[in-house]
Amino acid sequence: MPESTPKVNGPSRPNGSLAVSQLAALERQIAIINEACSQIATCDDIGELKALDDRAAVLKVAAKRLDAGVALQNEATEKTLWVRHRMGELSRAIPKSPGKRTDKGPIRDARIGPQTKKEVLQDAGLSEDEAERNEAIAAIEPEVLTAAIEEVKASGRELASEPFVKAGMRLKGSGKATDTSPGRKRKRKATAAETQEEKLARGAVNWSHIYDEFLIVTGSIARIEGGIGKIALRWDAATLQRVIKTCELIATEFAGYHARLKEVQREVDPTAV
């Protein structure tokens, strides 16, 4: 694999033959990354995966600066997601302190034995925060991750890793993190649709609370909405100012509802933006 990746100086797109040559170099590098990523499912070296992740991230930046189009950016981001998914699978299997491993998966890195998890991550060039984010992505079932990525690509939107990290964090928090042990695999007879149904059920619990609060607020507004124009004409300036302030507070409350609804939406659909 070549050691160099395309270097793009400056925020704007270059012109002429330079742009053409850089785009060609970018496409060649992405082809190399694609080939390397075809083997990540069997790669047990976190350091090697981290190097691949760094290269894919550089390629995404290069694609954006060269204005190479969303499709090329998404191709680099997709590789990043799968590399981080694999890194998360591996790092979550490492005991935090040296001793007997609790996982059954084959990790051929001999350093894991006598070292702590933190030390193994440091050797691979990963911080604990990065490992946690990778493990969040790894909490998403591969078939769900595949479907979500394909949906974003088909829509023409820009693919980003952050929604998947947030969705994975919620899955980890609810105890739904993916377990790749043989016991879990025997239980994995549920279909992808059933997995989605579980996620929708979790979202429905949050939706019910929000909807109840939403009715309280909108009910209060509905009682005054019809005649507010006529009433306002009889108010003095001070009263009108107080009512405007009240409306601003209500708008702030609705902004809070909007933010919470977006959180729930991302929990149900990690591709939501």
The tens digit of pLDDT for each residue in 133-183 reads: 999 999 998 888 888 888 888 888 888 888 888 888 887 775 544 443 334
Q: How confident is the model at residue 124 (pLDDT cuts 50, 70, 90)?
A: confident
Q: Given this model, what pLDDT does residue 88 score?
A: 93
263 has a pLDDT exceeding 90: no
20 closest CA partner among 69, 65, 66: 66
Q: Given this model, what pLDDT does residue 268 score?
A: 72
* Of the ranges 7-16, 48-57, 179-188, the best mean pLDDT one: 48-57
Structure tokens at 63: 């694609």
117 has a pLDDT exceeding 50: yes
Query: In this structure, which amino acid lies at residue 133?
Result: R
Task: Average the pLDDT over 49-53 and give the result.
Answer: 87
Q: Give 121 or 204, the one with higher predicted confidence.
A: 121
* Of the ranges 34-38, 51-55, 175-179, 247-251, the best mean pLDDT one: 51-55
Helix, strand, or coil (residue 151): helix
Q: Given this model, what pLDDT does residue 231 score?
A: 61
159 closest CA partner among 130, 190, 137: 137
Residue 102, classified by CB atoms within 10 Å of its CB into exposed (0-12), middle (13-18) or buried (19+), is: exposed
96 has a pLDDT exceeding 70: yes
CA distance 72 to 25: 13
Distance of CA 40 to the CA centre of its chain: 19
241 has a pLDDT exceeding 50: yes
Inter-helix orientation angle 46-65/117-124, to 10°: 40
> Does the model's pTM come out above 0.75?
no
Q: Given this model, what pLDDT does residue 84 score?
A: 92
Q: Give 4 or 121, the one with higher predicted confidence.
A: 121
Q: Given this model, what pLDDT does residue 111 score?
A: 42
Q: Given this model, what pLDDT does residue 81 score?
A: 92
What is the helix, strand, coil percentage profile of the chain, to 5?
Answer: 70, 0, 30
- Contact (Cβ atoms closer than 8 angstroms) between residue 37 and residue 83: yes
Of 94-108, 110-124, 160-174, 214-228, the range with the lowest mean pLDDT is 214-228
Task: Average the pLDDT over 120-134 and give the result.
Answer: 90
* pLDDT above 70: percentage of residues in the chain: 54
